[in-house]
Structure 1
Amino acid sequence: MSETTQGSELQNGSQPLPEPESDLKVESQPELQSETKPVEQLKSKPVVTDAEPKPESGAESSIQATTDQVARPGLRKDEENRTFTMRELLSEFKNEEDDTSSPYSQESRQRQSYQNNAAMELINSVTGTDEEGRSRHQILVYAARRYATALERNPEDYDALYNWALVLQESADNVSPDSTSPSKDALLEEACKKYDEATHLCPTLHDAFYNWAIAISDRAKMRGRTKEAEELWEQATKNYEKAVQLNWNSPEALNNWGLALQELSAIVPAREKPKILRTAIRKFRAAIQLQFDFHRAIYNLGTVLYGLAEDTLRTGSPNLNEISPNELYSQSAVYIAAAHALKPNYLVYSSALRLVRSMLPLPHLKDGYLATPPVGNSIAPHSVWKRTEFFLNHEALQQVIRVDHKQVSRSLSGRAIDVTNIDKKAIRVEIPDIVSVSACADLTLPQGAGLCIDTTSGPVFLVADSWESLDGWLDAIRLVYTIYARGKTDILAGIITG
C-alpha cells in the first residue's frame, strides 16, 4: 500500500497515519527443510501460512497491510489431484525423456532452445547469500534444466512453462536487493514471459494468472511512484481479476487484488483514487465473506478504510455516499480489532490496534441505528417500525430502549450507556445463538437495507439506514461470531472493555 503522509490531526487527538505497505510475495509450504520455500509443493492448494508479519520501523506510527502467503500449485494434466515432492518431480518428470522423436519443426525447437539458454543463464548466475540459499539454488537449477528439456521436446507444454516460471520467481527471492548480475527484476521479467506463454497455451490456468500477478506486483514495487509502476499495478489487477474469474473461490486472490488496487490508488490522479479505493474495499470484503477468519483481509480492509478516512478528512469531501471521517475511522478500528482478536500474537496488528482503539465506541465494538418492529411482531405494518439505537459487543447485539432518560447510552455522540437500565423488552441477540447473518430484501420490510439474523430461537429482522451501513453491521456481527467460534471471545472482551 502507499505511504501518503497526512498533515492534519484526527478529531480524537491521534496523529494521522501513513498508508500501509503491502508485501506481495509468493511462498511455498516447507517440506525439504523447515522455514524454506521449496518448489516441490507443485500441486498444493493455496493456503495462508502463519508466518508472523514483521512490522516496519516506527510500527507505533503506521499501519502495515499484510498479504496472504500461498503454496504454489503446479503440474496438472493427468495428475490433477496429485501433490508432487521434488524427488518425484525430478525422477518422474517425463517418462519419455529419452525419446528423441518430436512432431515440432527444427526451427521451433531451436527457437525454444535459444529462449531456454537465456533463462538458464539468469538462473545460473544467481548465488545464494548463505549455505541454505546455495543449496536451494542447486535444486532450482536442476529443476529448470528438466523443464528446459521438456520444452525443447514440446514447446507447447504449458505445464513446463508454468513450473519454470515458478522456478524463476523462486530464484528471484534468492537475489540480494542490490544485486545487478542478475537483478531480481530480470528474473521476475523472465518469469512473467513464461506465465504469459503458459496462459496463451492454456487460458484457464488460473494459478498461472495468480502467480503472474504476484510477479508483476513485485516488479511494480521496485519502481516506486512512477508511471511505469502504475502500468504494472494495472496489469497486476487485471491478472488477479482473471484468476478470480477462473477460480472465484479464492480469498487469497481477492485479498491480493485489493492490495494491488490500494497501491494503484496511490499513483493515479486524485480524482480517480476514491473509485479505486471503493473497489479495493469490495475485494477485501468479498475475501472475508469467503473466509470469515481470514485475518489478513480483515486487517487490510481496516487499513484501506483508515486511508479513506484520512483522505476524506484532508479534502473535506466525504466519499462513499457521505460517510463521515469519524464513521470511517470507527469502521477501520472494528476490522483491526477483529484481526488482532483472531491473531493476537501478530505485532503489526497489536501496534495498529493501539493507534485505533480509541476510535471504537468503547465499551462496545460498534454502535448505530437500526429500524425494528415491535417485539414479537416481525410482520408489523411499516408505520410502526421504529429507528432505535443498537450496540454490538463480545456478548450480544443489544437494542437500547431507555427507561430513565437521565441514564443514556454511549451513542454516536460519545455518551456512555448504562446497560443495567435498558428496557427488558429490548431486542437482544446473544452471539452464541446466531445461526447465520445475511442481507435480505422483502416486501414485508420497510424501505431500506434489510438485515436478517437467524438464531436458534427464530429470525430477527432489522433495517439499516443504507446498504453501506448494512455492510458494516453484517461484517461486524459475522466477525464477532467468528471470534466466538474460534474461542477468542476473551481477547475481544479485553480489547473493548480493558
Structure 2
Amino acid sequence: MEVGCPNSQDSQHQQHTEQNNAAMDLINSVVGVDEEGRSRQRILTFAAKRYAAAIERNPEDYDALYNWALVLQESADNVSPDSTSPSKDALLEEACKKYDEATRLCPTLHDAYYNWAIAISDRAKMRGRTKEAEELWKQATGNYVKAVQLNWNSPQALNNWGLALQELSAIVPAREKQKIVRTAISKFRAAIQLQFDFHRAIYNLGTVLYGLAEDTLRTGGSVSAQEVSPNELYSQSAIYIAAAHALKPNYSVYSSALRLVRSMLPLPQLKVGYLTAPPAGAIVAPHNDWKRSEFFLDHEKLQQVPRGDQKPVSQSLSTRSGDAVHGDKKTIKVDIADIVSVSACADLTLPPGAGLCIDTVHGSVYLVADSWESLDGWLDAIRLVYTIYVRGKSDVLAGIITG
C-alpha cells in the first residue's frame, strides 16, 4: 500500500492556522495597564478575531492581514512595562510578519510599509546601541523608502525616516555617520517643504543640526571652505528650534531646547547672512551691477544691510516691500506680510548661482545665495517666518528674538 504525500494546500492551511492561533494567543494574553487600557484591549481582541476569521476564509486577504498587524501593534502599546507575558517585542515581531505577508500580496500598500517601519523602529529602540539594533534601524529605513516611493506626499513618513536615520547614525562607525546625518537632514527638510507648519519635523531638523555642530566641533571644525562651520550649524539649529517653539509655545520640550540654543541666534535677528542682490529698486539689472551684501531676517521682514553699516538695522523708514530707506541709502526690503510665495529659481536674467525668488503683492524680488546649501537655509527661514505670521504667532517669535 502506497503512502500518499500530504497535500501542499493542506499543509499551507495548517501553517496559517498555527500562525493565526499563535497571534491570537499573544493578543488574548495582553492585559491593559488601567481600565481604559483593558477596555481598549477588549475591542482590539474582538477585532483580531474578525481578521483571523477573514484569513481562515481567504489566506490572501491582504487588507485583513494589514489590519491584524495594526491590532498587534496597538496591543504592544497596551503591554505594561513590567509585564512579562506576553512581551511587547513578541507582539511587534508578529505584527512585522503580518505586514511582510500583506505587502508580499499587495506590493503597493504604502500604509503597511509605513506602519511596518514604525513597528521595526519600536523593536530597535528596545535593543539600545547594539549590532542587532543597527540591523533593525536599517530595515526600518528600507521600509520608509518604500512607503515614500509609493506615497511621496507624506510628511510623517519623511519625518520618521529622518528619525530612523538619526538613530542609525548614533550606532554606525564614525566614518559612516556624517553621510547618514546629511541624509536625515534632507528628509526632515523634505517633510517641512510638504507641510510648512509641521513643528515636529522643524524641531527634529534643529536637533540633528545641533548634533552635527557638536560633532564638527569635536572633530576639529570644518575642514574646507565648502563645509559649514560649527557656529553656523548652531545658528541654523537655533532657527528651527525657535520656529518650532513659536508654532507650539506650550510644548515644554521645545521651550527647554530653546533655552539651550537661543543665544546662538544673531539676536535681535533670527538670521543674518549674505545674498547677492541687484541695486535697490531695479527689477532687472546687468550682472555686473549685482553685489554681494549682508541681509537680516526677523519676525517682520527680510532686509538688506546698508553698505558701511557694521550691524543690521532694526528700524526702517520704509512703508512697503521692495524699497527701504536708511539715512540716504536705499536698500532692498521684503515685509513678511506681503509675501505670496518663496522658491528656488533658475533664470538667465540672474547672475549664476543659487537663485531665490520672493513673490510679493508688490511684485517679485530676486536674490542669489552663496551656495545651494545656503539657499536651503534662506528658503526654510523665510518660509518658517511667513508660516508663523500666517498662524498668528509672530508675537511669540518677536518675544524670542527681541527678548
Same fold (TM over 0.5): yes
The residue number in structure 2 matching 1:270 is: 174
User: Is the 1:408–1:418 Cα contact (8 Å) retained in structure 2?
Assistant: no
The one-letter code of the counterpart of 2:245 is: H
**Structure having the larger proportion of residues in helix:** 2
Does residue 313 in structure 1 map to residue 236 in structure 2? no
User: Is the 1:401–1:422 Cα contact (8 Å) retained in structure 2?
Assistant: no
- Give the superposition deviation at 1:131: 1.5
The one-letter code of the counterpart of 1:194 is: K
The residue number in structure 2 matching 1:409 is: 311
Distance 2:186 2:106 in 1: 29
Distance 2:170 2:299 in 1: 35
Once the two structures are superposed, residues 119-151 of structure 1 have per-residue CA deviations (whole angstroms, 9 ceiling, x without a partner) of: 111111111122111111111111111111110
The one-letter code of the counterpart of 2:81 is: P
* Unmatched runs of 5 consecutive residues or more in structure 2: 1-7, 317-325
Alignment of 1:155-170 (within 5 A): 155-170=59-74
Q: Tell me, what secondary structure is at the counterpart of 1:163?
A: helix
TM-score by length of 2: 0.93
- Give the superposition deviation at 1:385: 0.8
Alignment of 1:363-382 (within 5 A): 363-382=268-287
- Give the superposition deviation at 1:378: 3.4
Once the two structures are superposed, residues 33-82 of structure 1 have per-residue CA deviations (whole angstroms, 9 ceiling, x without a partner) of: xxxxxxxxxxxxxxxxxxxxxxxxxxxxxxxxxxxxxxxxxxxxxxxxxx
Give me the identity figure in percent: 81
Once the two structures are superposed, residues 10-51 of structure 1 have per-residue CA deviations (whole angstroms, 9 ceiling, x without a partner) of: xxxxxxxxxxxxxxxxxxxxxxxxxxxxxxxxxxxxxxxxxx
User: Is the 2:281–2:332 Cα contact (8 Å) retained in structure 1?
Assistant: no
Q: Tell me, what secondary structure is at the counterpart of 1:316?
A: coil
The one-letter code of the counterpart of 1:222 is: M
The one-letter code of the counterpart of 1:119 is: A
The residue number in structure 2 matching 1:392 is: 297
User: Is the 2:221–2:229 Cα contact (8 Å) retained in structure 1?
Assistant: no
Give the alignment partner of residue 105 of structure 2, picking from 198, 201, 207.
Answer: 201
- Give the superposition deviation at 1:424: 4.9
Alignment of 1:93-108 (within 5 A): 105-108=9-12
The residue number in structure 2 matching 1:485 is: 390
- Give the superposition deviation at 1:298: 0.4
- Give the superposition deviation at 1:180: 2.2
The residue number in structure 2 matching 1:287 is: 191
The residue number in structure 2 matching 1:452 is: 357
- Give the superposition deviation at 1:479: 0.4
User: Is the 2:188–2:201 Cα contact (8 Å) retained in structure 1?
Assistant: yes
TM-score by length of 1: 0.76
- Give the superposition deviation at 1:441: 1.1
Alignment of 1:101-116 (within 5 A): 105-116=9-20
The one-letter code of the counterpart of 2:178 is: P
Give the alignment partner of residue 221 of structure 1, picking from 113, 125, 128.
Answer: 125
* Unmatched runs of 5 consecutive residues or more in structure 1: 1-103, 411-416
Give the alignment partner of residue 158 of structure 2, picking from 239, 254, 257.
Answer: 254
Q: Tell me, what secondary structure is at the counterpart of 2:330?
A: coil
Alignment of 1:133-144 (within 5 A): 133-144=37-48
Q: Tell me, what secondary structure is at the counterpart of 2:274?
A: strand
| Closer/same/farther in 2, CA of residues 423 and 487 from structure 1, 3 Å limit | farther
Q: Tell me, what secondary structure is at the counterpart of 1:190?
A: helix
Give the alignment partner of residue 325 of structure 1, picking from 230, 239, 264.
Answer: 230
Once the two structures are superposed, residues 268-306 of structure 1 have per-residue CA deviations (whole angstroms, 9 ceiling, x without a partner) of: 010111100100000000000000000000000000000
Give the stretch that moved more between structures: 353-362 or 178-187. Answer: 178-187
**RMSD over equivalenced CA pairs, Å:** 1.5
Does residue 362 in structure 1 map to residue 267 in structure 2? yes
- Give the superposition deviation at 1:419: 4.0
